[in-house]
Amino acid sequence: MDTVRLGIVGLGNMGKAHLANIRAGKVEGLRVTCLCESVGTLPKLLEGESAYTDVNAMIHSGKIDAILICTPHYSHTSIGIEALKTGLHVLVEKPISVHKADCERLIAAHTDKKKIFAAMFNMRTNAVFKKVKDLIDSGELGEVRRVHWEVTNWFRTNYYYATGGWRGTWKGEGGGVLMNQCPHNLDLFQWLFGMPQRVRGFCQFGRFHEIEVEDDVTAVFQYDNGTTATFVTSTGEAPGRNVLEISAEKGRLTVKDGTHIHFQRNRQPMSEFCMTAEAAFAMPESWHMDIPVDNSGGQHVEILQNFAGAILKGEKLLSPAEEGIRSVELANAILLSTWKDATIELPMAASDYETILKDKSENSTFQKTKVAAKATSDDFAKSFR
């Protein structure tokens, strides 16, 4: 095989964006042969591809080798399982599923390891975060002692939540900022620092918007080695900011807006200095340095290219879908902690969370306002960046 025949399901914002990139020839080895969309907008989009309204018909058509899943969150599990069982390669948008139990079901369906199963964690291609990972993994920072990530620049208007009936609801989206915007950040968090052993979350629901899910979050993560971390996010704070601070033995690394890395490097590791200095108020000598990074990475196109490369040439995946369970578990644990007003030990019980979420979805009395109902997904597409 020298070209992968791809089917895209869900031709909303992301589906269309991926389609445009592939049609523009930005991804070598991928050819879109089929499109599937459940609302009637498909005919306008077609350029010779086979069209489907039923995803199972596309999966079993024999016209695709791989599927790109760009539908709302809950259906990632059912579509992904059917595609994997049918022997397709699968690339699923983030989050891979809404809750840990569904992640486990989806991952369990990946029995044929010759089939490539990847997730769209495009921020892993960001050169800044790749550099931060390199600095941690190579020991340049020394042991990490504390992390603070405040990512409050996910500002969204009430109008945003009004577009697309599934947004801002337990039943449709399965969560708010943690489930829609932050899978990227939580994935990077676990990619850089590993999974914590305990999570305490403080979420506020519909604090800034007419939604029933969380739009304001403060979480504390604890690791067995004593490292602590805070993760703060919101879709209602403006101007927000995106600052990741890592306090490590060899200094303090600050990443601003995902674009700049500053390192205040200790000449001597802090714990060593603390135990050996013979002056009460001494501080380790430190130097300021800006760490250059060359670009922002290939983002979605690089993940698509890597997916094709993994299928055609056996390239190593940048974001295996199996790893997507970790960001979902972090998000679930933060919410579960809030609901239970308790610390959650990881790994957490998947069924516990699933039961509560199901209850919230099925017994919700939340209704979007009339004003909200006027917004359409076309409005969303116009404002999408």
Ligand X SMILES: NC(=O)c1ccc[n+]([C@@H]2O[C@H](COP(=O)([O-])OP(=O)(O)OC[C@H]3O[C@@H](n4cnc5c(N)ncnc54)[C@H](O)[C@@H]3O)[C@@H](O)[C@H]2O)c1
Q: How many CB atoms lie within 10 A of CB 244?
A: 24
Residue 315 in tokens:
């390239």
Q: How far is the CB of 251 from ligand X (least distance, A)?
A: 32
Q: What are phi and psi of 260, to 5 degrees?
A: -125, 135
The answer to whether residues 222 and 195 touch, using CB atoms and an 8 Å cutoff, is no
Based on the shown chain and the rule CB under 6 A, indicate whether residue 9 belongs to the binding site for ligand X. yes
Indicate which single residue of 39, 275, 279, 280 sits in contact with ligand X (rule: CB under 6 A): 39
Q: How far is the CB of 286 from ligand X (least distance, A)?
A: 36
Strand order in the sheet with 260-266: 286-291, 260-266, 251-256, 242-248, 144-151, 228-234, 214-222, 198-205, 344-345
Residue 36 near ligand X by CB under 6 A: yes
CA pair distance 129, 220, nearest whole angstrom: 21
Query: What is the residue type of 166?
Result: W
One-letter identity of residue 62: G
- Beta partners for residue 52, in sequence order: 36
Q: Which two tokens stand for residue 128?
A: 């800044």
The three-point CA angle 140-321-134 to 5° equals: 10
Quick one: which of 4, 8, 14, 304 contacts ligand X (CB under 6 A)?
14
Q: Nearer Cβ to ligand X, position 10 or 201?
A: 10
Residues 6+ apart with CB under 8 A from 46: 35
Which is closer to ligand X, CB of 96 or CB of 255? 96
* CB 63 within 8 Å of CB 72: no
Using CB atoms within 10 A of its CB, is residue 20 exposed (0-12), middle (13-18) or buried (19+)? exposed
With residues binned 3-state (H G I as helix, E B as strand, rest as coil), the percentages for the chain, rounded to 5, are 35, 25, 40
Name the residue nearer to ligand X (CB basis): 57 or 342. 57
When the beta carbons of 94 and 250 are compared against ligand X, the nearer one is 94
In the complex, the smallest distance separating the C-beta of residue 287 from ligand X, rounded to whole angstroms, is 36
Q: Is 377 in the site for ligand X (CB under 6 A)?
A: yes
Nearer to ligand X, 82 or 104 (CB): 82
Which position among 13, 50, 157, 242 is part of the footprint of ligand X (CB under 6 A)? 13
Q: Which of residues 70-109 bind ligand X (CB under 6 A)?
A: 70-73, 75, 93-94
Considering the complex, what minimum distance in angstroms separates the CB of residue 89 from ligand X? 18
Contact map string, positions 114 to 153, toward ligand X, x by CB under 6 A: ------x-x-------------------------------
Helix, strand or coil, per DSSP, at residue 218: strand
Which window, 65-73, 206-214, 267-275, 287-295, contacts ligand X (CB under 6 A)? 65-73
CB of 176 to ligand X, least distance (A): 12
Question: C-beta of 285: minimal distance to ligand X in Å?
Answer: 42
What single letter denotes the amino acid at residue 90?
V
The reply to whether 37 sits near ligand X by the rule CB under 6 A is: yes
Binding segment for ligand X (CB under 6 A), chosen from 34-42, 187-195, 219-227, 245-253, is 34-42
| Least distance between ligand X and beta carbon 296 (Å) | 13
What is the size of the binding site for ligand X (CB under 6 A)?
Answer: 24
Which residue from 7, 59, 18, 38 is spatially nearest to 165, judged by alpha carbons?
38
Given 126, 180, 233, 305, the residue binding ligand X (CB under 6 A): 180
| Stretch touching ligand X by CB under 6 A, among 35-43, 147-155, 217-225, 328-336 | 35-43
Cβ atoms of residues 154 and 126 within 8 Å? no
Provide the terminal-to-terminal Cα distance of the chain, rounded to the nearest Å: 35
Supply 310's token pair: 């993994």
Which residue in 6, 7, 10, 250 binds ligand X (CB under 6 A)? Answer: 10
- Indicate whether 164 belongs to the interface with ligand X (CB under 6 A): yes
Q: Which stretch binds ligand X (CB under 6 A): 64-72, 140-148, 192-200, 340-348?
A: 64-72
In terms of CB distance, is 147 or 304 closer to ligand X? 304
Which residues of the chain form contacts with ligand X (CB under 6 A)? 9-15, 36-39, 55, 70-73, 75, 93-94, 120, 122, 164, 180, 377
